[in-house]
Amino acid sequence: MTFKVQTLSFSTKTSLKISKGDISRWCVDRSSDAIVSPTNEILLLGGFTAAAIHEAAGPDLQKACYQIPEAQPRVRCPPGEARITPGFKLPVSHVIHTVGPVFNFHCNPEDILRSAYKNCLSVGKANNIQYIAFPAISCGVSQYPPDEAATIAISTVKEFANDFKEVSHDKFCLMI
């Protein structure tokens, strides 16, 4: 099955592709690529997307999540933050885990969602990741309105790209 891909170029070196597909099958080069897994604070499976990622990665991914130290009791990744693990059996080198907001529960869900995207990008940059695929963070069980979430995702990626012009190549993909 082929899906139409929309491309937004932010500079000669940075672009954002919007595509529909299975994020657990996405890859670029298996050495500098990562997918983002939306999860919960204790880094357990979370919703459908995280479950698909964990199933494709195999049990070592969950073991790696358990090795991430707790920031506070039963919290390995607070909302809006990000953590990174190897990709294991996935076709990417890394998985970046993030906790997005629950739309009608968290105060300032826009700020948390923006932080989730920004911190994923920062973790990727710190780990020399050049290609990142994002799912629609918080749009499933967390009930974030997809149009609002997409606006936040795109503006955050664009802002990040403008702030880090020294990066040699950055490609971002939003998977819906």
Residue 95 has pLDDT above 50, yes or no: yes
pLDDT of 103 above 70: yes
**Residue 70: pLDDT above 90?**
yes
**Does the predicted model carry a pTM greater than 0.85?**
yes
Cβ–Cβ < 8 Å for 100, 113: yes
Mean pLDDT (whole number) for 30-57 = 90
Q: Percentage of the chain with pLDDT > 90?
A: 61
Q: Is the pLDDT confidence value at 29 over 90?
A: no
Place of tokens 């506070």: 72
Q: Sketch the domain layout of the chain as residue ranges.
A: 14-175
Q: Which of 15-19, 114-118, 160-164 has the lowest mean pLDDT?
A: 160-164
Instruction: Reply yes or no on domain 14-175 having CATH 3.40.50.300.
Output: no
pLDDT value at residue 168: 47
Over 60: is that where the pLDDT of 50 sits?
Answer: yes
Residue 20: the pLDDT is: 83
Q: What is the mean pLDDT of the chain?
A: 87
Which residue in 101, 103, 125 sits closest to 115, CA to CA?
Answer: 101
| Residues 133/94, Cβ–Cβ less than 8 Å | no
Q: Which residues neighbour 62 within 8 Å (Cβ) at sequence distance 6 or greater? A: 44, 45, 54
pLDDT above 70 (res 83): yes
2/15: higher pLDDT: 15
